[in-house]
Structure 1
Amino acid sequence: MDLEDGLLMMPGPVPVAPRVLRAMSKPMINHRGAEFSAMYDDCCEILADVFQTKNDIFILSGSGTAAMEAAVGCTTGKDDVVVTLENGKFGERFKKIALRYGKVNPLENEWGSSFDLGEVEKKLEEGAKAITLVHNETSAGIQNPAKEIGKLAKKHDVLFIMDGVTTLGGDDVKVDEWGVDIAVVGSQKCLAAPPGLSMASVSKRAFEAMDEKESLPYYLDLKAYKKSGDKSQTPYTPAVPLFFGLQEALHIVKEEGMDARIKRHATCAEAVRAAANAMGIEMFPQLNDEFSHYSNTVTAMKAPEGVTGNDIKKDMMARGITIAGGQDHLSGKIFRIGSMGNVQPKDIILTIQELEVVLRKRGVISELGIGVGAASEVLDTLL
């Protein structure tokens, strides 16, 4: 397969617009000069709308995991307890990060299953400094109840740290309204920029927690980012070409408008689910309450009987479309189709069309067109 002709339909990285790639080819500039400062401010201004926040926003040269570690490492000391909510790979990652800096009181669910808010509150009643949540667990295709967790965090006076890596820029995320003290996002997901940058919004309350710590991480010191950010700079050398790309990607976000962007993401994901349902493919997440939902940026489906998720992934790759399989113990059991970034209805239709061919050859379905038809009916609402 020619990589330039292939279609990425995985939960990040996502295809990048040609104008973003062109922006990255600009000549280098002085990263301590006025031109960089103007670019930094421009990015933060647009990101404030994406985050729906008045909090400080910082851009880190590092992936979403770097921002996750910055959030936990800057607020958690060795004697502090963090309640970590885990129902997928990235909730598990938050737990592992928290164990490096403090103590953990984990709530560990089956991957893809809803949290019991009563159980969450019991954990908080035992005492904690912070609670972590992955808003959209892409490993399992489930969106977790950030608004409700935020209410519990406020009730028990703990910091609310949220991974919004795969919702910010593609779904409705109300950082201030939900009381999120630190929210993080990665560049290569819904924002449709190249990998390598992450962004964090940080509340005054989170900074107050940092003042209580004896030591902070060095490279991921958010107080250092605050000091430099007040001067429209980064504390350490930024990945300038990635900033060029991010700025252009954020201009695309601004031009589309967040309301339209959120609707497009939600509709594309709904179309994938409609196609799966029409073909008799079962969703993977187990939604056991009214507060959890299917993800609006990736659809996780159970592999049909007699076929593995890896088989489907391999067959789709041979047809020029890259989707994702399951991670860790879910390998082979599920497959996942991303619908984030600048994904368009035609991308969804092409993906479903090729998936139908793959499934018919594997003996899962007997006729073509039923999935495409179901997806098309949903996508017509965008026209």
Structure 2
Amino acid sequence: MDLEDNLLMMPGPVPVPPRVLRAMAKPMINHRGAQFSEIYDDCRRILADVFKTENDIFVLSGSGTASMEAAVGCIADKNDRIISIENGKFGERFKDLASRYGSVVPLEFEWGNSVDLDLIEAQLKEGAKAVTMVHNETSTGILNPAEQVGKLAKKYGALFIMDGVTSLGGDNVFVDDWGVDVAVVGSQKCIGAPPGLSMLSVSEAAFDAMEKENLPYYLDLKACKKSADKEKTQTPYTPAIPLFYALQESLHIVEEEGMDARIKRHCTGAAAVRAAMDAMGIEMFPQLDEYSAYSNTVSAMKAPEGMDSETLKKEMMKAGITIAGGQAHLKGKIFRIGSMANVSYRDILSTLQQVEIVFKKSGVVSELGPATEAAIEVLDK
């Protein structure tokens, strides 16, 4: 199969528009010169609207995990109490990262279930330097209560470090209003750029808390600030210039669409997926409460009885559509469909039609059409 004909409908990397790909072909420039400074400043300007923050914003030449490690590695020392909330694969990753640097208090919930705010508050009462949480847990398709956790962290004097890797740029995120001290996003998710960059916002309180003697070297956020505050905005070390070209072009697309319209498009696309699944009797995987919600950038569903989700993935791939399965102990048990970044309504309908075809051939559904019609009804609104 020609890769150019493959439709990526997974929770990142996402399809990259031709204008973004073309941007990466620009000539190399001096990363200490005025041209790069203008690119970096332009990216940070648009990102301030994506993050809804007045905090410092930096771009690291590394994936979202690099920025997660920068946040924890600069703030946490070995004796610092760090509360790590986990209800999915990426919450687990945040917990593991934090354990490399601080004294972690793991708050582990069943993957796909909501978090317990009372339990989080009880641990915060015991004292903590920071609390980490994934806002949009793509491994299970659940949107966690970042606003409530941010308020609890502030109530008890803890920093709030939030993985917004798959929500920023595709869903409502209000970094300043929610009291997020460090927020992280990846380039290859809702921003719609190629993998390899991550962006993070850092509050004054977070900088004040960076008291440890030896900060990480390459991921030193104080070094990032020192370089960014120069007359010509820079990064402390050599940046991935072609990826900065791509990021700038992707952010121009975000700006042209407008954040409100972009968020609405993501929400509508995910709602169409859920409507189609309901029409086929396919159960959503997340178990919600009053503070959690279904993700608006990736939908996670239980595999139908009698069909392993890995089989569904293979059948979809034969048709040129890539969806995602479950991770770790959820492999084979759930499947996931992304609706983020530049994925169009046509892409979503094509994917849902093919899922319906696979299910019809496998005897999961008895007829073709109801799922697609249900999705169209949502998209037409």
* Shared fold per TM-score greater than 0.5: yes
Residue 197 of structure 1: aligned partner: 197
Tell me the residue number matched to 2:25.
25
Fraction of identical pairs, as percent: 73
Separation in structure 2 between the aligned mates of residue 369 and residue 346 of structure 1, nearest angstrom: 16
Provide, for residues 299-345 of structure 1, a one-character-per-residue CA deviation record: whole Å limited to 9, x for no partner: 00000000011011111011100000000000000000000011111
Corresponding residue SS for 1:226: helix
Q: Does residue 247 of structure 1 match 2:252?
A: no
The aligned residue for residue 257 of structure 2 is: 256
- Whole-angstrom CA distance in 1 between matches of 2:319 and 2:125: 52
Deviations 1:219-238 (A, max 9, x none): 00000000001121000000
1:228 corresponds in structure 2 to: 227
Map 1:49-198; keep pairs closer than 5 Å. 49-198=49-198
SS in structure 2 at match of 1:201: strand
CA-CA distance at 1:214 after TM superposition: 1.3
- Count, aligned residues: 379
What is the letter of the counterpart of residue 80 of structure 2?
Answer: D
C-alpha distance after superposition, 1:49-103 (max 9, x if no partner): 0000000000000000000000000000000011000000000001000110011
Letter in 2 for 1:45: R
Structure 1 SS opposite 2:188: coil
Q: Could you say what secondary structure the match of 1:263 adopts?
A: helix
The residue type equivalent to 1:366 in the other structure is: S
Distance in 1 of aligned mates of 2:32 and 2:56: 20
SS of 2:173 mapped into structure 1: coil
What is the correspondence of 1:302-341 to structure 2 with a 5 Å cutoff? Answer: 302-341=302-341
Deviation at 1:25? 0.4
Structure 1 residue 125: deviation in Å?
Answer: 1.4
RMSD: 0.5
The answer to whether the aligner puts 1:214 opposite 2:213 as a matched pair is yes
Q: How high is the TM-score relative to the length of structure 1?
A: 0.98
For 1:313, the aligned partner's letter is K
Distance in 2 separating the partners of 1:230 and 1:166: 28
Q: Structure 1: where are the runs of 5+ without partners?
A: none
Amino acid across the alignment from 1:204: E
TM-superposed deviation, 1:198: 0.1
Alignment partner, residue 269 of structure 2: 268
Between the aligned partners of 1:66 and 1:181, the Cα distance in structure 2 is 17
Counterpart in 2 of 1:237?
238
Distance 1:302 1:372 in 2: 19
Give me the whole-angstrom Cα distance separating, in 1, the residues matched to 2:358 and 2:78. Answer: 51
Please give the per-residue CA displacement for 1:20-52, whole angstroms capped at 9, x wherever unaligned: 000000011111110000000000000000000
For residue 299 of structure 1, give the secondary structure of its aligned residue in structure 2: strand
